[in-house]
Amino acid sequence: MTETIVSLRHVAKSYLRGKQRIDVLQDLNLDIAKGEFVALMGPSGSGKTTLLNLIGGLDTPTSGEITVAGQRLDQLGSGALARWRSTHVGFVFQFYNLMPMLSAERNVELPLLLTRLSAVQRKAHALAALTLVGIEDRAKHKPNELSGGQAQRVAIARALVADPTLLVCDEPTGDLDRKSADEVLHLLQVLNREHGKSIVIVTHDPKAAEFAGRQLHVDKGSLLEAGSLAA
Amino acid sequence: MKYFPLVWATLWRKKTRTIFTLLSVMVAFLLFGVLETVDYAFSHPSAGATGADKLVTTNKYSITLPLPFADVQQIRSVPGVEEVTWLTWFGGYYQESKNFVFALPIDADTYFNLHKDEFIVSEAEMRAFTDTRTGGLANTALMKKFGWKVGDKVPLHSTIWTQKNGSLDWTFDIVGTFDAKDPTQAAQQATSFLFHYELFDEGRSFGKGNVGWIEERVADPSQASEVANRIDALFTNSSDETKTQPAKDFAMAFLKQLGDIGFVLRAILGAVFFTLLFLTGNTMMQSVRERVPELAVLKTLGFGDTAVLGLVIAESLLLCVVAALLGLALSFGAIPVIKMGLPGVELSPRALLPGIGVAVLLAFIVGLPPALRAMRLSIVDALADKR
């Protein structure tokens, strides 16, 4: 029986914008198995990034239950949620969000500052992660000295370095040309297939979604499987 | 320490801004160090002449008003008084007003008897001084400063006392030199020049028979307060009522003739730090505002609210303390220069210590508002514009 890594039950999320209540997600149910590569697609404003934020523990639901890696996230406070994120989830963003003043190696090392590892161990782990994404030769370079594809690889290395259970990627290829995008997606595929990483990506790009093992469509706060959409 | 590279790199994210802020804080603390040192010197006159067995009697209403010489004899008869001497402020300089000379007309016998533990003078030079009516004893540092030699005739200009011929210039024969017995007194005595009171009193065109202040040594320092009361009681209801106080208090009162130095210095520093507070505070606020997405990323990676607060405070601390240390180090280096402008006042580097405390306080005041903002920022909102 496949182990479930992400489980959402009757999850709803709404925001207050001024006096107006905006329901972004309604009664949403989702299971993602360990080792799955899932792509979340949908039009702008459909709620896919909100869903990704909930899965990654960046936000909490208005109602419903979210269990990720065996932990009920909807029951955690902000401090506990931060600690949980540091060990269980790695994030990749569209614009890489690297620290501009730090070298690639130092950027990758950041999540390890929260661990008990020594400086030598942190450096070794960071170099290993950079090697894994094939960019160890740019370890001493700062983000503005890297191409978009290289910067995104550094961001992926940073997401991986603490060996998280889950990788969540928000439009990871949205700022890249086709060739770089394919390289990054291929890298994610390798991480999923060869290293067993569970990955959830949000993307507008159908070609990017094809790299995933399963495609889900978010529309008006509800989820539809790609198969059911086709049917 | 593991966060230091991150904090340091963040501080230098905008090099020009950081350098200018650093320079502003550094200059402010250089000023702080200099003014605090001067203030400390004025509020902590050094020991030596201010020993517990010494009293100083002045006019009750102002130390600038004279006392009649006759008071000296009366004070001599007060029980508990062991020795009495008298002096007057000469207000002298050599050639130019910047060449201040702490010239004092003294009665040699009583003065050196009262201050016997404070000077090193050879017997021969002391004899030469006693025997020469126009003789003067100069501190060796003063001799060196002006290139004087024993045997030289030196003119000293008084800012107060005219001679009978109308001249403000008094000429003395240097017959010897002296040094401070206590090395801590060396700076205080560095500009001292002693000459005969008799010559001064006879030569001046006004104020004859008056003295500026009277110094006493008491037999028992524990009785100094009672002796002081007895002295003042002698002159109660006279036309020249007196105020007798410990020599240390007199030294402070003498320096305060220049004005409430502490208040003036604190007012200057207050204005400087008020401006600095806004400047550095604005820099920190701007720096954090620009880094909202980066701070949000740190939170995403698992840095808690407290950790983010700590990072911003640490950045502020690093900026203020490093700049303050540089500024204070410069002011420490400036102490010899200050001493040249404030002769006779001893300056202590201890006055710089409060600067570290002020730097830490400044860091917290300017760092706390942006740190709280960073702590409270919502990851989702902060990343909404930059994914």
Arithmetic mean of pLDDT over chain B: 86
**Alpha-carbon distance A214 to nearest alpha carbon in chain B (angstroms):** 23
From the list A59, A85, A87, the residue facing B380 with the nearest CB is A59
Give residue B340's pLDDT band: very low, low, confident or very high (50, 70, 90): low
User: How far is Cα B233 from Cα B338, in angstroms, rounded to an integer?
Assistant: 42
Write out residues 121-160 of A within 8 Å (CB-CB) of B: 122, 158
Would you say residue B46 has pLDDT above 70? Answer: no
DSSP state of B204: B
How high is the pLDDT of residue B381? 86
Q: Please provide residue A60's backbone torsions phi and psi, each rounded to the nearest 5 degrees.
A: -120, 150
Confidence class for position A1, pLDDT limits 50, 70, 90: low
Å between B11 CA and nearest CA of chain A: 9
- Tell whether A117 lies on the interface with B, counting CB pairs under 8 A: no
B302/A114 CB distance under 8 A: yes
pLDDT at site B267:
83
In this predicted structure, what is the pLDDT of residue B43? 67
Minimal Cα–Cα distance from B304 to chain A, Å? 6
Q: Is the pLDDT of residue B49 over 50?
A: no
Q: What is the pLDDT of residue A219?
A: 85
> Is the Cβ–Cβ distance between B81 and B56 less than 8 Å?
no
Please determine, for residue B40, whether its predicted confidence score (pLDDT) is greater than 90: no
Chain A contact for B5 (CB, 8 A cutoff): yes
A151/chain B closest Cα distance in angstroms: 14
pLDDT at A226 over 70: no
Task: Report how far Cα B92 is from the mean position of its chain's Cα atoms.
Answer: 20
Give the residue-averaged pLDDT of B329-346: 72
Give A-chain residues touching B303 at CB under 8 angstroms: 82, 86, 114
Spell out the alpha helix ranges (H) of A89-195: 104-109, 119-132, 148-160, 178-195
pLDDT value at position A229? 44
pLDDT band at B37 (very low <50, low <70, confident <90, very high): confident
Which residue from A58, A82, A94 is facing B380, i.e. has the nearest CB? Answer: A58
Average pLDDT over chain A, rounded to an integer: 90
Tell me the pLDDT tens digit for each residue of B121-165.
Answer: 999 999 999 999 999 999 999 999 999 999 999 999 999 999 988
**What are the pLDDT digits (tens) for A159-198?**
999 989 899 999 888 888 888 889 889 999 998 999 889 9
Residue B190: pLDDT band with limits 50, 70, 90: confident
Residue appearing with tokens 């329901």? A23
Confidence (pLDDT) at A54: 94
CB contact under 8 A, A95 and B12: no
Residue A95 is nearest to which of B3, B299, B387, comparing CB atoms? Answer: B387
Residues of A in Cβ contact (< 8 Å) with B9? 99, 101-102, 106
- ipTM for the complex shown: 0.90
pLDDT reported for residue B300? 94
Lowest average pLDDT, out of B29-38, B68-77, B207-216, B356-365, goes to B29-38
- Find the mean pLDDT for residues B26-36: 86
CB contact under 8 A, B302 and A86: yes
pLDDT at residue B354, rounded to an integer:
84
Contacts of residue A7, Cβ cutoff 8 Å, sequence gap at least 6: A30, A31, A32, A65, A66, A67, A68
